[in-house]
Amino acid sequence: MSTHTERSREPAIRVQNIEKSYKELHVLKGVDLEVARGSIFALLGSNGAGKTTVVRILSTLLKADGGSASVNGYDVASQAGDVRESISLTGQFAAVDEVLTGRENLILVARLRHLNNPGTVADDLLARFSLTDAGGRKAATYSGGMRRRLDISMSLIGNPPVIFLDEPTTGLDPQARIEVWDAVKELARNGTTVLLTTQYLDEAEQLADRIAILHQGRIIVNGTLAELKALLPPAKVEYVEKQPTLEDVFFAVVGDNGSAGTTGTTTTSPAGTDK
């Protein structure tokens, strides 16, 4: 269809008006987003907002009911095989084999991907994710953070240009989260495009070049951290200026308890102007 050069000018991910229902439950009501090559994009949303549904559609595990989406220039519906060769997916629940060692897990995936030197690939990834010492131990003995890092490193085998991370740090302690964040930053430094989903606002704030909030079936806000913060003018209280946090922006656009609230609008009245 399109040539290699045409494809490489396309954004890494393009989603246009995607709709998806599970029976009568209308989860995605026209989702649009674009992710530039080599950037980190965070899709934020409450439980049940539809983040995993978006990721499953983009990774060809699920068909959308309407709209279109492309990954690495390939259409997810008509070129699913090319999409699968362009991506890796680290799901919401770690896909590590507990009985194998970390190194054996990596070698297994490298063999499945028909690489010539699975041992070298495994050792390089163990080093890159600070798992060299733990590489010979069964994954069952790993901490949550180590398991997540192993999971992410497994998804890098074969150097896919686009990776999806569905809630990469849910359930991890603060130290393990920082380790995973470092691993994700390392990916982007190497030119990989990352789309991650998260419920943690600080995670998006730490990692993402752009942040989108999925709420009631639509993207209600999409921008850089600075753009999102600019949605809420600094609150003025007795000459002291307070910068809004991403959390303030999130609750202002989503509504205080994450369920009620505004849809389809990103404007809020400046705090401190109403007397």
Ligand X SMILES: Nc1ncnc2c1ncn2[C@@H]1O[C@H](COP(=O)(O)OP(=O)(O)OP(=O)(O)O)[C@@H](O)[C@H]1O
Residue closest to Mg ion (Cβ): 52
Stretch that binds ligand X, among 1-9, 44-52, 76-84, 232-240 (CB under 6 A): 44-52
Residue 199's binding partner out of ligand X, Mg ion, none, with CB under 5 to 8 Å set by partner kind: ligand X
Stretch that binds Mg ion, among 49-57, 174-182, 229-237, 264-272 (CB under 5 A): 49-57
The separation between CA 181 and the C-alpha centre of its own chain, rounded to angstroms, equals: 12
The pattern of x and - marking residues 86 through 115 that bind ligand X according to CB under 6 A reads: ------x-----------------------
**Binding residue for ligand X, selected from 14, 51, 103, 149, defined by CB under 6 A:** 51
Q: For 9, phi and psi rounded to 5 degrees?
A: -85, -15
Outline where the chain has alpha helix (H): 4-9, 51-58, 80-86, 102-112, 118-128, 144-155, 174-189, 201-207, 225-230, 246-254
Q: Tokens in use for 71?
A: 């990954």
Stretch that binds Mg ion, among 46-54, 104-112, 184-192, 200-208 (CB under 5 A): 46-54
CB 13 within 8 A of CB 210: no
Bridge pairing between strands 13-22 and 66-71: antiparallel
Per CB under 5 A, 52 contacts Mg ion? yes
CB of 168 to Mg ion, least distance (A): 12
Per CB under 6 A, 25 contacts ligand X? yes
Per CB under 6 A, 157 contacts ligand X? no
Residue type, 94: A
Residue 45's binding partner out of ligand X, Mg ion, none, with CB under 5 to 8 Å set by partner kind: ligand X
CB of 114 to ligand X, least distance (A): 32
Residue 106's binding partner out of ligand X, Mg ion, none, with CB under 5 to 8 Å set by partner kind: none
C-alpha to C-alpha distance for 109 and 98, rounded to whole angstroms:
14
Q: At what angle do helices 144-155 and 174-189 cross, to 10 degrees?
A: 20
Tell me whether residue 51 or residue 210 sits nearer to Mg ion (CB atom): 51
CB 36 within 8 A of CB 12: yes
Tell me whether residue 122 or residue 184 sits nearer to Mg ion (CB atom): 184
Torsion angle, alpha carbons of 191, 195, 197, 200, to 10: 40
Q: In the complex, which residues of this chain contact Mg ion (CB under 5 A)?
A: 51-52
Binding site for ligand X (CB under 6 A): 22, 25, 27, 45, 47-53, 92, 199
